Structure 1
Amino acid sequence: MIARIWHGWTKRTDAKTYENMLRDEIFPSIAARNIKGYRGAELFIREDDNETEFVTLLRFDSMDPVKEFAGADKTKPVIFPGVEKLLTRMEPARHYRIAIAREL
């Protein structure tokens, strides 16, 4: 299992708008692509004094579905229309092998 992790930041005033876009538009549109091997998404949010950090974690069976999702440059962030104006900065996506995952 592969975790694709991406970090992006917004101004605090834009954070709720971006969170709503992720929940209501972006994550559902990723699922609607029906990429074989895509296993879901999680969103982590950390508020700071002047900005809000968003961390997305997308789970895939292997790197093949990651490439289908992200394209040839798998580290390039996949930014949906309307989002770039909300982001103040972002990092390349990173990919990790999930070695242990336990749920209770």
Structure 2
Amino acid sequence: MIKRVWHGWTTPENADAYFRILTNEVIPGIEAKKMEGFRGIEVLRRELKIETEFCTVMTFETLDNIIALHGEDYERSYVPDAAQKVLSRWDQTAQHFEILEVRRYDA
């Protein structure tokens, strides 16, 4: 399994607007592609002193699944125009990590 990690930053005033764009437009658009090997997406948010950071973590079965979606330039990030309008800055590339081990502890 592969995790695709990407970060974007916005002002605190634009944070909720970005989250709405992400959950109402971006993620449904990803899901609609019904990509082979796509297993899900996590959205993380962190309030900093002068900005709000978002991190998305997408899970795929293999790196080949990501390459099939994005092509040979698979590390390059795609940020829709609507998101660019409310983000202050963002990662130009995504990072990819191989999952080596997962331990779960249920209460």
Q: Would you say same fold, with TM above 0.5?
A: yes
Contact residue 70 and residue 78 of structure 1 kept, 8 A: no
Q: 1:37 maps to what in 2?
A: 37
More helix by share: 2
Contact residue 8 and residue 54 of structure 1 kept, 8 A: yes
The percentage of counterpart residues that share the same residue type is 36
Say which one has the larger Rg.
Answer: 2
Matching of residue 93 in structure 1 with residue 100 in structure 2: no
Residue 68 (structure 1) shift:
2.6
Q: 1:102 maps to what in 2?
A: 103
Unpaired segments ≥5 residues, structure 1: none
Unpaired segments ≥5 residues, structure 2: none
Q: Residue 68 and residue 80 in structure 1: after superposition, are their counterparts in 2 closer, same or farther (change >3 A)?
A: farther
Q: 1:80 maps to what in 2?
A: 80
Amino acid corresponding to residue 94 of structure 2 in structure 1: A
Residue 79 (structure 1) shift:
1.0
* Equivalent-residue separation in structure 2 for 1:68 and 1:52 (angstroms): 32
Q: Trace 1:1-104 onto structure 2 (pairs within 5 A).
A: 1-91=1-91, 92-103=93-104, 104=106
Amino acid corresponding to residue 13 of structure 1 in structure 2: E
Q: Residue 88 and residue 74 in structure 1: after superposition, are their counterparts in 2 closer, same or farther (change >3 A)?
A: same
Residue 101 (structure 1) shift:
2.1
TM-score, structure 2 as length reference: 0.89
TM-score, structure 1 as length reference: 0.92
* Equivalent-residue separation in structure 2 for 1:63 and 1:15 (angstroms): 30
* Equivalent-residue separation in structure 1 for 2:8 and 2:68 (angstroms): 22
- Deviates further, 42-51 or 77-86: 77-86
> May I ask how many residue pairs the two structures share in their alignment?
104
Contact residue 21 and residue 82 of structure 2 kept, 8 A: no
